[in-house]
Amino acid sequence: MVKICCIGAGYVGGPTMAMIALKCPSIEVAVVDISVPRINAWNSDQLPIYEPGLDEVVKQCRGKNLFFSTDVEKHVAEADIVFVSVNTPTKTRGLGAGKAADLTYWESAARMIADVSKSDKIVVEKSTVPVKTAEAIEKILSHNSKGINFQILSNPEFLAEGTAIQDLISPDRVLIGGRETPGGQKAIQALKEVYAHWVPEDRILATNLWSAELSKLAANAFLAQRISSVNAMSALCEATGADVYQVSHAVGMDTRIGPKFLNASVGFGGSCFQKDILNLVYICECNGLPEVANYWKQVISMNDYQKNRFVNRVVASMFNTVSGKKIAVLGFAFKKDTGDTRETPAIDVCKGLLGDKACLSIYDPQVNEDQIQRDLSMNKFDWDHPLHLQPMSPTSVKQVSVTWNAYEATKDAHGICILTEWDEFKTLDYQKIYDNMQKPAFVFDGRNVLNAAKLREIGFIVYSIGKPLDP
């Protein structure tokens, strides 16, 4: 029986390994992590992450061929294939601070693999890492003194949170990069055989190591760039009376462009887009390509601009001040169908409104109060000025309350900001909400999910991103 071990039981390690266990009953999969609470949660009915369909997959396999454990060394030692899916955040200090990927967790995992291995292993980069990381990993692993053969593969993950299970069942492609040596090619073949249990052969793509590593960064940069491009258009639409929905629909009908990922919004978020673009920027700079670095930097600048623009719109619309006004924030996660708040645009928007002394009442169906308060009290890292941190005053945090219901959040509010596109926000009783709000009642739809005409009929003053302003 082939044995797989995955180091890192997070948003990627958990679902990807659960899918391998589901589709490959002949493979034993152990997901290991140094975090005891995380592993306990994976072994309970309350999984540590919310992802539609994940519970069912885990329940079907857990205890049969899928195991979650904190005994990292034991499972690594026993495995034939070791995936490494640890976090690779942006460095916050030292060389490359604010841009470069922090590979501390990766390095410690690699050293541990070198120490405990007693048999040959394929080590798979599942985390998103800078191009050429495999070279560093090879150096670390080569210090294992037992003459063990390690083959490094890059197998970046392209799942999107909120649709992870569907993305894993039917991936656009599975990318496997390896050395162009006989050993490297044999390792690629072994990993291909795992995915071939359910992924059609023509969707499994083999490349060299550096292409695979760089492709993941490139894919995220391209996706984020599309969002920044349409958001840039949204500002121009508002200035000219064009409607961003109509523009992106017309643009997306061009088959060379395509319709996906062209929704204007308050900005992109999530743990990956910004971090991976910063990483790309850093790699460009290190390779003497400042113009290329500047090009990609603009994607992030536009995202910051969009979040600021939204805050300014709220304040300007509400007679140039939100001081002491109650604003209901509906949605805090960075997108629907996830409880993940990493780099969510809601953090910057809320901080911007708090900076003008608004009182916020926040509701998100999957994010609890502790998480929201923690996110809002954390310092934001300024990647352009790494030494300049923007502190969040404790008094601001007191201006925040968190509710478990959209009706409670909006009661007596002066305005509503929609910051996540949760489906339930589309079907709320907006007449009831309007009746219980201060007047004039404002709606700022940062995701363009509500029917603005209907809201206007009720009496709301409505701002939708990139759409003509209230008549």
- The residues assigned a catalytic role are 272
Does residue number 174 form part of the binding site for ligand NAD (CB under 6 A)?
no
Q: Segment near ligand NAD (CB under 6 A), from 59-67, 157-165, 378-386, 433-441?
A: 157-165
Q: Taking CB under 6 A as the rule, does residue 364 contact ligand NAD?
A: no
CA distances, 238 to each of 345, 375, 442 (Å) = 20, 31, 17
Nearer to ligand NAD, 8 or 98 (CB): 8
Is 161 one of the binding residues for ligand NAD (CB under 6 A)? yes
* Residue 117 to residue 395: CA distance in whole angstroms: 52
Nearest residue to ligand NAD, by Cβ distance, number only: 10
Check the annotation: does 89 bind a ligand: yes
Q: Is 11 in the site for ligand NAD (CB under 6 A)?
A: yes
Residue 147 CA to residue 48 CA, distance in Å, equals 38
Q: Could you report how far apart the first and last alpha carbons of the chain are, in Å?
A: 67
Nearer to ligand NAD, 42 or 422 (CB): 42
11 labelled ligand-binding: yes
For ligand NAD, the closer of residues 110 and 284 by Cβ is 110
To the question of whether residue 128 is assigned a binding role by annotation, the answer is yes
92 is in an annotated binding site: no
The position carrying tokens 């995220």 is 220
Contacts of 390 (CB under 8 A, 6+ apart): 379, 380, 382
Rounded to 10 degrees, the C-alpha dihedral 432/436/437/440 comes to 70
Alpha carbons 427 and 413: distance in angstroms, whole number: 19
CB of 274 or CB of 464, closer to ligand NAD: 274
Contact flag: residue 110 with ligand NAD (CB under 6 A): no
Among 6, 31, 33, 365, binds ligand NAD (CB under 6 A): 33
User: Widest CA span of the chain, in angstroms?
Assistant: 75
Chain mean position to CA 412: 33
Across-strand partners of 82? 5, 123
The answer for residues whose C-beta is within 8 angstroms of residue 191's C-beta and 6 or more apart is 81, 122, 124, 153, 155, 176
Distance, in Å, from the CA atom of 129 to the CA atom of 154, rounded to the nearest integer, reads: 9
Angle at Cα 248 formed by Cα 246 and Cα 254, nearest 5°? Answer: 110
127 touches ligand NAD (CB under 6 A): yes
Distance CA 25, CA 357 (A): 56
Q: Does 38 contact ligand NAD by CB under 6 A? A: yes
The distance of closest approach from Cβ of residue 125 to ligand NAD in the complex, given in angstroms and rounded to an integer, is 9
- Indicate which single residue of 34, 196, 232, 458 sits in contact with ligand NAD (rule: CB under 6 A): 34
Shortest distance, position 63 Cβ to ligand NAD, whole Å:
21
Instruction: Give the separation between CA 54 and CA 250, rounded to whole angstroms.
Output: 36
Which of 8, 184, 345, 365 lies at the binding interface for ligand NAD (CB under 6 A)? 8
Contact flag: residue 15 with ligand NAD (CB under 6 A): no
Listed ranges 5-13, 195-203, 354-362, 392-400: which one lies at the site for ligand NAD (CB under 6 A): 5-13
Give whichever of 216 and 297 is closer to ligand NAD, judged by the CB atom: 216
Which H, E and C letters describe 292-326, residue by residue? HHHHHHHHHHHHHHHHHHHHHHHHHHCCCCCCCCE
Structure tokens belonging to residue 125: 């980069």
Q: Is 435 annotated as a binding residue?
A: no
Q: How far is the CB of 457 from ligand NAD (least distance, A)?
A: 39
Tell me whether residue 11 or residue 150 sits nearer to ligand NAD (CB atom).
Answer: 11
Q: How far is the CB of 427 from ligand NAD (least distance, A)?
A: 27
Q: Which is nearer to ligand NAD, 69 or 436 (CB)?
A: 69
Contacts with ligand NAD by CB under 6 A: the residue count is: 27
Contacts of ligand NAD in 64-93 (CB under 6 A)? 72, 85-88
252 is in an annotated binding site: no
Q: Which amino acid is at 34?
A: I
> 3-class SS at 84?
strand
Rule CB under 6 A: which residues touch ligand NAD? Answer: 7-13, 32-35, 38, 72, 85-88, 105, 108-109, 127-128, 157, 159, 161, 271-272
